[in-house]
Copies of this chain bind each other. A is one copy, B any other.
Amino acid sequence: GRGEAGKEPESESILSGFKTSNILRDSAREKNIFVHGKLADQDAVVILEKTPIREDNLPEIFSGSRLKLEMKNDIYSTYRLQVPPHLNEIKTTVVCPATEKHVKKYQRQDSFLVEETGKDYQSITLPYIQKQSFSVQWVYNILEKKAEADRIVYEDPDPKVGFVLLPDFKWDQKQVDDLYLIAIVHQRDIKSLRDLTSEHTPLLQNIFQKGKEAILQRYNLPASQLRVYLHYQPSYYHLHVHFTKLGYEAPGCSVERAHLLSDVIQNLQSDPDYYKNRTLYFPLRADDGLLSKFKEAGRL
């Protein structure tokens, strides 16, 4: 068979032998599809995604294409346009052999909204976080300039209110439209929103103020076009703040996960222990270990 060691399949035809077993995920909005199947007897995941329409291709698309009228009503008409293949490619990613972990990663997962009281945090969430002991070594590497030092956009080195501001990995920095930066605090003992009290308002105000100034200076984007927020739950338990461009639907900016930094500061000013006692809501994926803990505790 084609899968034998040492034999590299021809790239031109590799997918003609692909046998689909199931669709892991697809998005009509983003025009992509994640397909699980077999490639020469090996498990494989094939990801197809249509490419963005490029402005510089427009003249050729308009002149060299075939149109089929679908509907005409007053000044509006719709067509199906057939374009020469080289102007309309599909980005294809093949993972082969794919492990069970890959398949699970790409599988669409339902999310469930969890209601966490201050007590739930102490009895369910905190023990879970501590037991997992997720490594944040990569964060310390950034703070200590052992990694990504060249990516730093701004730093305030103060150990109490200081932070490092750098682009998020999701942002390719090629256009300001999808601007995404992260401010990581120098203090190492603040896991998340839940640990914040009024003693941290100087830290939060410093990040808010200096982060906005640094972004104006570097990217010429005024503060009024920024969305500045924290996640709860965060994806790692070392306090950090997200800066994204308003109007860009950044992943994780929905109301059920994001907390505006301005609101956080306001809340701590009106109640120093607001985030210790407040009931917080957040989504967890069906396969999240923390969700099982909430279920075991009869909280879902």
Point out residues on A near B: beta carbons under 8 Å: 11-16, 18, 20, 23, 26-33, 35, 48, 50-53, 55, 58-59, 61-63, 65-69, 75-86, 88-98, 110-115, 223-227, 229, 246-247, 249, 253-256, 258-260, 262-263, 266, 278-279, 281, 283, 300
Contacts and interface: CB of A to CB of B under 8 A. Distances in A.
Contacts of A69: 11
A195 to B, nearest CB: 20
Contacts of A59: 20
Contacts of A80: 89-92
Contacts of A78: 91-94
A281 B260 contact: yes
Contacts of A81: 15, 48, 89-92
Contacts of A51: 31, 50
A18 to B, nearest CB: 5
13 contacts: A11-B77, A15-B63, A15-B81, A16-B62, A26-B52, A26-B55, A50-B88, A79-B93, A110-B246, A112-B225, A113-B226, A255-B255, A262-B281
Nearest to A259: B255
A41 to B, nearest CB: 15
Given A15-B62, A76-B95, A227-B254, 6 more contacts: A26-B52, A29-B29, A61-B90, A80-B92, A113-B225, A253-B256
Contacts of A31: 30-31, 50-53
B283 A263 contact: no
Contacts of A30: 29-31
A262 to B, nearest CB: 6
Contacts of A255: 227, 229, 253-255, 258-260
B50 A75 contact: no
Contact of A79 (B61, B62, B94): B94
Contact of A254 (B61, B65, B249): B249
B85 A11 contact: no
A77 B93 contact: yes
Nearest to A27: B52
A213 to B, nearest CB: 16
Contacts of A67: 11-15, 92
Given A61-B48, A75-B97, A90 B88 contact: yes
A257 to B, nearest CB: 8
